[in-house]
A and B are shown apart, each in its own frame.
Chain A
């Protein structure tokens, strides 16, 4: 089919669009739980939210292997990332610098990705979790660096047990993966330093 082989456009103004997107990502991870808008001005390929596509276009290149769910990897999204980022698409989650997962899918688990090692905790995977909405899900309370007291979020469309996985990820601090929840053109950062509590 013609649409399978066509690769959509990337940034029209790479310098300034990636700079603006990066500042949104920096804001997301330095102030976990705040909703940041990424306006990349791009039409994402099928299967990726605009925020996911813009974040990868901003951060990924030939140095950073990307893991995608097999359906996306073999589809237009994989071709789009190969073309625009020049990134390798890997099959083993543990080899990925960046990963995109569907929040509702039961596999892979967060522990399947690279948590870094004790001497180089920075070598861990950054996972973009695509979710159904930022409201209406199970409410959790966040605390830790970047949060003055506490912050509450309730993203929807996450698999059962997801928050237990995130809490276990935080328990391994300073090791662990860093999460970006993405929906539409919004992101919420959940670095490994953030502690997860129940609803207030």
Chain B
């Protein structure tokens, strides 16, 4: 029976349970997940636990991943699209340590993708599970601070306030100025916060073949989108929902259809646009796509040169 793992050099005493959480906590989270899947977009309260990192650093996503992960899984963790930033590296190492998890950076090889604020550019496949880290699960919270009131608004589908907010945006600025965490209507019933992904990613949620799970550790909520669920970004007939677009392609891989980050590169205010999804960008460069600034970046050692990637 392999219930416990041991710390190196301390083979005698059990350290912690597989995937860190105890079995009763996993059962509680699993029950919440099943109810979340049965009512897409509804936020199920759960007993969020203390984790060995601060709330706000992905504890909700980590608890969801810990409750679902098993020896058959391959885990990918991204932070703002990148596999190699602090939060992603820490969480990946956490599961390598506590669950002997097989990890990958390749989107298509992963069975579980835990993400902070991006959906990978490569299309998700049936059988994959997206786990989102959510700071604020309540889309109405900035409009109505009282939980007792927002709960009633969801119960009665009383969503006029959200439409008014979007309308006021249009009246003042001529367009909806929300660019991330853009509210969506799920299965025609619940308004849901898609987590702070750019609105560029919202269309990828609609009818996705992958299961999508959302965990908010500090706010103690879990919600879900089963595969093939309708996810409509809120808009008006005369102001249809639009995603971001850029005037130039990715400076490294010349992609024109991916979400680009703007990077300031010197004191004179010069800037470059690069793919936020690091694996997507690397895959394209390996396939021979060359952006305008790839040579400079390779020369200064910021990305692998063409010789070493091919």
Contacts and interface: CB of A to CB of B under 8 A. Distances in A.
B37 to A, nearest CB: 5
Interface in A4-21: 12-16, 18-20
Contact of A61 (B1, B24, B67): B24
A191 B37 contact: yes
Contacts of A25: 30, 34
Nearest to B46: A122
Interface of A: 12-16, 18-20, 22-23, 25-26, 29-31, 58-61, 63-64, 97, 118-122, 124, 126, 144-148, 173-174, 178, 191-193
Interface stretch (B169-177, B224-232, B249-257): B224-232
Contact of A14 (B3, B34, B211): B3
A25 B68 CA distance: 11
Interface of B: 1-3, 17-18, 23-24, 26-28, 30-40, 42, 44-45, 67-72, 151-152, 154-156, 187, 189-190, 207, 209, 211, 224-230
Contacts, number: 118
Given A59-B31, A146-B227, A30 B37 contact: yes
A29 B38 contact: yes
B37 A13 contact: no
Contacts of B189: 173-174
Q: What secondary structure prevails in chain B residues at the interface with A?
A: mixed
Given A22-B30, A31-B227, A145-B230, 4 more contacts: A22-B68, A26-B211, A146-B229, A173-B189
Nearest to A147: B228
Contacts of A193: 38-40, 187, 226
A148 B228 contact: yes
28 contacts: A12-B1, A13-B1, A14-B23, A15-B2, A15-B18, A15-B23, A16-B18, A16-B70, A19-B68, A22-B68, A26-B34, A26-B37, A58-B27, A58-B30, A59-B30, A63-B28, A118-B155, A119-B155, A121-B39, A121-B42, A122-B32, A122-B36, A122-B42, A146-B227, A147-B228, A178-B35, A178-B38, A192-B38
